[in-house]
Amino acid sequence: MDTYSPLKTPSLSQRNGSMTAVNLVLSVNGRDYRLTLDARVTLLDALREQLSLTGTKKGCDQGQCGACTVHVDGRRILSCLTLAASVEGKAITTIEGLADEGGLHPMQQAFMDHDAFQCGYCTPGQIMSAVACVTEGLAETDDDIREYMSGNLCRCAAYPNIVAAIKQARIDMQRGRS
Amino acid sequence: MRPFAYERAGDLVSAVTAATIEADSQIRAPIQFLAGGTTLLDLMKIDVMRPERLIDINPLEKSLSEISFDRSGLRLGALARMSAVAHHPDVEREYPVISQALKLGASAQLRNMATLGGNVLQRTRCPYFRDVSWHACNKRDPGSGCSARQGLNRNHAVLGTSDHCIAAYPGDFAQALIALDATVSIAGSKGDRRIPFSDLHRLPADTPHIETTLSPGELITEFHFPARPWARRSLYLKVRDRESYEFAVASAVVALDLADGVVRDIRIALGGVATVPWRSLAAEDALRGKPLDESRAGMAAEAAFATAKTFGGNDFKPELGRATLVRALLAVAMLEVRS
Ligand SMILES: Cc1cc2nc3c(=O)[nH]c(=O)nc-3n(C[C@H](O)[C@H](O)[C@H](O)COP(=O)(O)OP(=O)(O)OC[C@H]3O[C@@H](n4cnc5c(N)ncnc54)[C@H](O)[C@@H]3O)c2cc1C
Ligand code: SF4
Ligand code: FES
Ligand code: FES
């Protein structure tokens, strides 16, 4: 008989050749997806590779750029440093889930109105982060916006226009739809 | 990333039981707790950490994330997120330094993910530690040597170093814990214990791979800050290479009990310059019972860095560290504090 090791006790994941698989249900933009994933798969890779929701971008894959920002239970987080398995049962919102029948989210509209991008690669992450920044009440001054948006880098340096867009959207969001 | 088994903690007792395993240190054990994942997954992706099993402790969040303040002090659950604590009104009012140290760390997204327990256990940003293509790193691979001593060491420590490792402890929040006499509650399969925060981290000495006094499987459950007269007049000053979203090059925590311009009691900790969270008793002693003015602040700063040792790239650090401390001391003395 094998000697006891805590490494060998049963776990949620099952060994399957060289990988360990987990069965899980992810709730993304109001829809449930049943998936079998390698335990190593991040939320970012699950969104992009499994669910074909490619709006969420991979910049650094190391928590340093913010391109992969999504909302989990309404809070902005980095999907590249989140295991898909660890957010089962939570409500995940990506850039694809922001607009509704009424049209674009005010933040999406504001980014267009203010030309708050150049190449656009950082933009989904910027918009997801900016929406949360407003709902957290941390977008009241230009300085606050710059500080609390510092987790989203823009290689094209659209920063001044991003600040302007957030100020416009803040007013629209506080007026009504959010 | 290497394959690992994934499981979720059902309750505290089963989590610590399931994680208890023989290993030379907690941080190198093959079973690791997954909290926010912002240190652990980052280091697993770059192959620096290689656990075989993760126990996701987020299901314990409800019971271990309480923030409560009363006359005995402030209790912070180890699974509280940095953002929740940073913006909590009791923390902002009663312990401003804690709020500031947390707000000035990482980014808004990371602070929503990262827990206090994971935060104090975050690992050095030494580039040789983080890049496995470098053979020599005693912290990663005990006995292999240290690439930083003769290499690029601009961001490395000047206090608490050893021949074996000069890596700086990168965190901000830990400086508040060590300055404010905090204690840490720990659960383990052999029982629970509570220790001063100053006993948690170990100097690198000749075992830099053993970073804390935690045993494999032990789980931090709570931090407690006592109520003290210096808590309200406190601040965190962080100097860094860019304005935001960057680790400290030098930082200072000061908490001051001031009566008629004279220092009744004071607490000082330094970040970015030491191998572990660093309280400066020498600087405190230079000020206790004395009036706080620029020349006294300068003397305290001299005392704080009297034992500093530099390695080329970081020759500038003692001077920057002294200036940071002087600025923090003068600023804290000027604060208007409601009693
Ligand atoms: C780009 C970037 C920038 C950053 N900038 C800063 C900064 O400026 N200032 C700063 O202070 N920090 C900074 N950080 C570090 C960040 O604060 C830490 O990664 C974070 O606090 C770790 O917490 P976590 O919950 O994510 O820990 P995890 O990554 O989940 O865990 C880290 C380690 O601690 C163990 N662990 C976790 N919780 C417990 C517990 N309760 N008991 C026992 N063991 C436990 C885990 O097993 C693991 O080994 C930055 C990180 C990144 C990626
Ligand atoms: S300073 Fe420490 S962490 Fe960096 S290379 Fe040397 S031993 Fe490794
Ligand atoms: S891809 Fe996640 S922060 Fe860069
Ligand atoms: S628009 Fe190009 S990176 Fe931001």
Of B4, B37, B244, the CB nearest to A147: B244
Interatomic CA distance for residues A58 and B237, integer angstroms:
33
H/E stretch holding B219: strand B219-226
Token pair listed for B7: 């499981």
| Structural domain boundaries, residue B295 | 234-333
Q: What is the pLDDT of residues B25-65, one digit of tens each?
A: 888 899 999 999 999 999 999 999 999 999 999 999 999 99
Residue B22's region, left for phi above 0, alpha for psi from -120 to 50, else beta, is: beta
Residue B259 lies in a domain: yes
Split into its structural domains, chain B has a count of: 1
Q: How many C-alpha atoms does B183 have within 13 Å on its Cβ side?
A: 12
- Ligand 1 is surrounded, with C-beta below 6 A, by A 63-64; B 27, 32-40, 42, 78, 105-106, 110, 113-115, 117-119, 121-122, 171-173, 219-220, 247
A81: which DSSP letter?
G
* Domain spanning A12-97: CATH 3.40.50.880: no
Number of CB atoms found within 10 A of residue A113's CB? 14
Nearest CA to ligand 1 atom 13: B106
Contact check, Cβ <8 Å, A42/B41: yes
Amino acid, res. B152 = L
Q: How many whole angstroms separate alpha carbon B288 and alpha carbon B311?
A: 32
pTM score, whole prediction: 0.97
**Chain segment B113-165, per-residue pLDDT in tens:** 999 999 999 999 999 999 999 999 999 999 999 999 999 999 999 999 999 99
Give the model's confidence band at A178: pLDDT under 50 very low, under 70 low, under 90 confident, else very high: very low
Ligand 3 centroid from CA A61, angstroms: 4
Q: Is residue B163 included in any domain, yes or no? A: no
Domain ranges for chain A: 12-97, 106-177
Q: What is the pLDDT of residues A136-171, one digit of tens each?
A: 999 999 999 999 999 999 999 999 999 999 999 999
Quick check: is B197 in a domain?
Answer: no
Q: At what angle do helices A159-175 and A123-135 cross, to 10 degrees?
A: 40
Q: Let me know if residue B248 belongs to a domain.
A: yes
B302 in a structural domain:
yes
Fold entry, domain A106-177: DNA polymerase; domain 1 (1.10.150)
Residues of chain B with pLDDT > 90: what percent?
97
Q: How confident is the model at residue A54 (pLDDT cuts 50, 70, 90)?
A: very high
Looking up residue B240, the CATH number of its domain turns out to be 3.30.390.50
